[in-house]
């Protein structure tokens, strides 16, 4: 199978080098080392990590010299629990920074009641929104889509473990309640982690493929998921134990994922986002390994 390199670009997230949610993971890795190793491994795109300079005039030359482009950066929304204007004010700053960096997509996550950073069992205490909260979230994202369009950009929602939009049903509901200019950030690892089946990953991808603006490629170690469930562990405890890994190293079959994207003529970035403890999983070695895997599967 061959994907079109004019349409599909490959990036990797800095979270394998330094983890924003767990700063102790990879605290020894510098920004320069991270982006140099991304380039050396054969990636041309990156998302934004906490060690990245936040001034485009400083950041851009450091990336340009390495042939790396910023393609997205995480943004937290709080539409269910806070006044809409608070999120919007922050979003405009975030949008303008990403626009200056040349990104076309803004990946957002609705973080109201999220337990992803808390010491709570990720499967047992997942939040759920009321109908009133769903309406606020949908209205908020419709507004963000308009603001993104002002700069020729797209807003996408990242379905995520430990949030109110995690399961296929919740993701479907979000997509149905929002306008057509609100897109999905599809994450193979989060869907598999949530549902535990290959079928759930392929089903969501097939259903939403025309509305997907950005893709996160990550794999899942099933034996770690089982431990997280059994011991009622938190999301971050699971990460430290290695619940996520690079494509080709876990339980997910990526052949149908790449096939569905290719047949739908997907255009955009595919970003390897596989947060592990860099002391246990050398980020450069894993980046090289997964770059070879993706090339073998897609021709990219």
Judged against a pLDDT cut of 90, whether residue 21 lies above it is answered with no
In tens, the pLDDT along 130-150 reads 999 999 999 999 999 999 999
Judged against a pLDDT cut of 90, whether residue 23 lies above it is answered with no
Confidence grade of residue 241 (pLDDT, cut at 50, 70, 90):
very high
- Rounded to whole angstroms, the Cα distance separating 106 from 199 reads 27
Nearest to 247 by CA among 236, 234, 256: 256
CA dist 65 → 44, 57, 99, 234, 292 (Å): 11, 13, 19, 39, 23
> What sign results for the dihedral spanned by CA atoms 71, 269, 110, 35?
negative
Judged against a pLDDT cut of 90, whether residue 20 lies above it is answered with no
Strands (E), the chain: 8-12, 45-47, 69-72, 75-77, 105-110, 154-158, 182-187, 212-217, 219-220, 244-245, 268-272
Burial of 28 (0-12, 13-18, 19+ CB in 10 A): exposed
In tens, the pLDDT along 244-258 reads 999 999 999 999 999
Q: What's the average model confidence in pLDDT over 99-105?
A: 98
pTM for this model (two decimals) = 0.97
According to CATH, the superfamily of the domain at 8-298 is Divalent-metal-dependent TIM barrel enzymes (3.20.20.150)
Judged against a pLDDT cut of 90, whether residue 57 lies above it is answered with yes
- The pLDDT value recorded for residue 114 is 98
Mean pLDDT of the chain: 97
Judged against a pLDDT cut of 90, whether residue 190 lies above it is answered with yes
Judged against a pLDDT cut of 90, whether residue 1 lies above it is answered with no
Strands (E), 98-194: 105-110, 154-158, 182-187
Judged against a pLDDT cut of 90, whether residue 22 lies above it is answered with no
Q: What's the average model confidence in pLDDT over 100-121?
A: 97
């Amino acid at each position: 199978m061959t994907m079109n390199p004019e349409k599909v670009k490959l990036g990797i997230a800095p979270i394998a080098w330094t983890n924003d949610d767990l700063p102790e993971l990879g605290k020894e890795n510098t920004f320069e080392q991270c982006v140099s190793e991304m380039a050396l491994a054969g990636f041309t795109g990156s998302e934004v990590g906490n060690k990245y300079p936040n001034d485009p005039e400083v950041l851009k030359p450091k990336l340009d010299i390495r042939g790396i482009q910023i393609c997205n950066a995480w943004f937290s929304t709080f539409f269910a629990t806070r006044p809409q204007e608070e999120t919007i004010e922050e979003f405009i700053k975030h949008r303008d920074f990403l626009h200056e960096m040349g990104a076309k997509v803004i990946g957002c996550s609705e973080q109201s009641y999220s337990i992803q950073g808390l010491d709570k069992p990720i499967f047992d205490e997942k939040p759920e929104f009321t109908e009133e909260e769903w309406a606020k979230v949908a209205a908020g994202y419709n507004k963000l889509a308009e603001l993104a369009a002002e700069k020729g950009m797209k807003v996408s929602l990242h379905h995520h473990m430990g949030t109110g939009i995690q399961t296929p049903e919740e993701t479907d509901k979000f997509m149905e309640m929002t306008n057509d200019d609100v897109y999905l950030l599809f994450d193979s690892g989060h869907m598999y982690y949530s549902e535990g089946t290959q079928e759930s990953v392929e089903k969501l991808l097939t259903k939403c493929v025309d509305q997907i603006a950005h893709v996160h490629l990550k794999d899942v170690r099933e034996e770690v998921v089982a431990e997280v469930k059994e011991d009622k562990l938190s999301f971050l405890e699971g990460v430290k134990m290695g619940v996520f890994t690079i494509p080709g190293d876990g339980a997910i079959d990526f052949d149908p994922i790449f096939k569905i994207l290719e047949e739908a003529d997907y255009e955009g970035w595919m970003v390897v986002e596989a947060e592990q403890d860099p002391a246990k999983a050398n980020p450069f070695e894993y980046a090289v390994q997964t770059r070879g895997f993706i090339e073998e599967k897609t021709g990219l």
